[in-house]
Structure 1
Amino acid sequence: MVDKIETQEQFETLLEKEEKFLLLKHSLTCPVSQAAYQEYQKFADNENSIPAYFLAVQDSRPLSNDIAEKFNIKHESPQAILFTNGEPRWNASHWKITKRSLTDAVGENQ
């Protein structure tokens, strides 16, 4: 299951409480982002060991920008980021977001 986050407070809570989680920056109007979201959803439906969250860039632009600035990760949409212990360990964008790439990223960053 994929849960939506919308606020800086929600994101900060995730950084504090989750040892490891995935976050997808998703554009509601982009076909590439829709394809990435479907891959992300497939991954989340089959992988219960890591929480999966997303933010809709159009709805949460300040949060999206804050994440890019705070972690020095150039904003892209779609963009998947794996966080471990409050720090980004892996990220991918556009067509590189696949069920396989997400599975590999989680496995490689144990």
Structure 2
Amino acid sequence: MGFLDKIFKGSEEEEKAETSKTPWNDLQTELDLHQLEDESKEKVVVIFKHSTRCGISRMAKRQFESEYNYEEEKVKLYYLDLIAHRDISNKVAENFGVFHESPQLLIVKDKNVVFHTSHSGINAEKIAEFVN
């Protein structure tokens, strides 16, 4: 496998096998989405929408994980696998009035998206602006 293949490609199995210290919570159901909205009244909630088949999305996720260093008491972090749960991604777009992109980062406070970005705009440092 060439250098660029290692950066842009990789199997879903390899990605799942990678260990991350990032405190991901899976966003898989509408119930999870409703819970997330309620949690956003108490703390900052972040949704990371990721396509497991996209090299750019994989790079954005790795970069985000390397930067992420927030306490779970202040920030709740959700991971949405777009391939497995496109229906939930569509529901996120509908509920929050945000156009679907991949990869995409949404910051939610008081049931409202206060910031969203995609692709190279994704960075964990932006979250600090919204943490009390």
- Same fold per TM (> 0.5)? yes
In angstroms, what is the RMSD of aligned CA positions? Answer: 1.4
Give the secondary-structure state (helix, strand or coil) at the position aligned to 2:75.
coil
- If the length of structure 2 is used for normalisation, what is the TM-score? 0.73
Identity in percent: 26
Question: What is the aligned residue count?
Answer: 105
1:73 equivalent in structure 2: 98
Measured against aligned partners, the alpha-carbon deviations of 1:28-73 in whole angstroms (never above 9, x if no partner) come to: 00011001111222233x2213121110001111110011122221
Give the secondary-structure state (helix, strand or coil) at the position aligned to 2:83.
coil
Structure 1 counterpart of 2:97, which letter? N
Distance 2:116 2:87 in 1: 19
Q: Does 1:47 align with 2:70?
A: yes
Instruction: Verify the 8 A CA contact 1:79 1:91 in the aligned structure 2.
Output: yes
76-85 or 11-20, larger mean C-alpha shift:
11-20
Structure 2 counterpart of 1:8, which letter? E
1:2 equivalent in structure 2: 24
2:112 paired residue among 74, 87, 96: 87
> Which consecutive segments of 4 or more residues in structure 1 shift more than 6 A?
none
Give the secondary-structure state (helix, strand or coil) at the position aligned to 1:75.
coil
Shift of the alpha carbon at 1:108?
Answer: 2.3
In structure 2, runs of 5+ residues without a counterpart are 1-22
In structure 1, runs of 5+ residues without a counterpart are none
Distance 1:93 1:17 in 2: 23
1:38 equivalent in structure 2: 62
Instruction: Verify the 8 A CA contact 1:21 1:52 in the aligned structure 2.
Output: yes
Give the secondary-structure state (helix, strand or coil) at the position aligned to 1:81.
strand
Distance 1:86 1:43 in 2: 25
Shift of the alpha carbon at 1:82?
Answer: 0.2
Structure 2 counterpart of 1:88, which letter? V
Structure 2 counterpart of 1:62, which letter? D
